[in-house]
Structure formats: C-alpha cells, structure tokens
Amino acid sequence: MGRIHQYGDRRLPVPGAVGTTAAVLTAITASLAGRPAAAAAAAVAVVALATWLIIYLRISAPINQTLTAAAETGNVPPDARTLQRRWDSVITPRAILQAIATTAMCAVWPSPEEMTELPAASASSGARR
C-alpha cells in the first residue's frame, strides 16, 4: 500500500491547490459580482475543502508517510493493520467532503435566467455611459 500513497502524495497537491484556489477566487468574484447565492455556494466548497485538508494533514498524510517509508525499505510496519484501519476510518468523510465541494461549485453556475439577464445588464449599463 505504501507505493500507492507515495505516488498519490506526490501528484495530488497540485490539483488540490488549484481546486481550492479556484473555489476561493469564485467566492470572492461571486461576492463582488453581487451574486450572494453563488458566493455562499463557493464558500461552502472552500469550507469543505479546508476541512478535507485538515483531516488529510492530521490523519492520512502521517499514515501515508509511515507506509511509504516501510515500502521503500521493504518492511511492514508492526502496526500496519491499525494504520490501515485508521486511514480507512477517514476515507468516507473525505469523499463526502469532496462531493460537497463539487456539488457546491456546480451550484455556482448561473441559472438560465441569470444567463439571459447578464447580456441585458451589460447592454443597459453601456447605454447609460
């Protein structure tokens, strides 16, 4: 199992940082654009991703490091089953948090009504100048 964690821990920080940054920027942009529902949805995504990260850093990452170190030396940690049970105990909450973040970001997308209102608002504001 250590090799799986080794590759995941190397590759996943970039998509995680990009996703979290996108959620933060979306919350800010939606707020500045006067779209409180979209800003709230993006904020929910940010909170879910931050919670996911806390769980990962406090529980999953240390276990991953232990299992990776063992795999690199060809050893099996004496508490391997305990480590795996602990890691398994947080995978469902982490998956749920990812689902919440994804769903919240989908809720940010403008409704068809909002999409038709946007060009009219731009045209009318341009006509006032």
pLDDT: which is higher, 125 or 82: 82
- pLDDT, residue 24, reads 97
Residue 8 lies in a domain: yes
pTM: 0.78
| Helix, strand, coil shares, percent, the chain, to 5 | 90, 0, 10
Q: Domain of residue 19: give its range.
A: 2-124
Whether 111 and 38 have beta carbons less than 8 Å apart is answered as: no
pLDDT averaged over every residue in the chain: 84
pLDDT: which is higher, 10 or 106: 106
Q: Is the pLDDT of residue 13 over 80?
A: no
Q: Is the pLDDT of residue 2 over 70?
A: no
**What is the total count of domains within the chain?**
1
Integer angstrom CA distances of residue 122 from 49, 93, 119 = 34, 43, 5
| β strands within 52-98, DSSP E | none
- Determine whether 10 is exposed, middle or buried from the number of CB atoms within 10 Å of its CB (0-12, 13-18, 19+): exposed
Q: Is the pLDDT of residue 61 over 80?
A: yes
Residue 21 lies in a domain: yes
Residue 107 lies in a domain: yes
pLDDT digit string, tens, across residues 17-55 = 899 999 999 999 999 999 999 999 999 999 999 999 999
Residue 129 lies in a domain: no
Give CA torsion, residues 96, 101, 102, 105, to 10 deg. 160
- pLDDT, residue 111, reads 72
Residue 101 lies in a domain: yes
- pLDDT, residue 3, reads 56
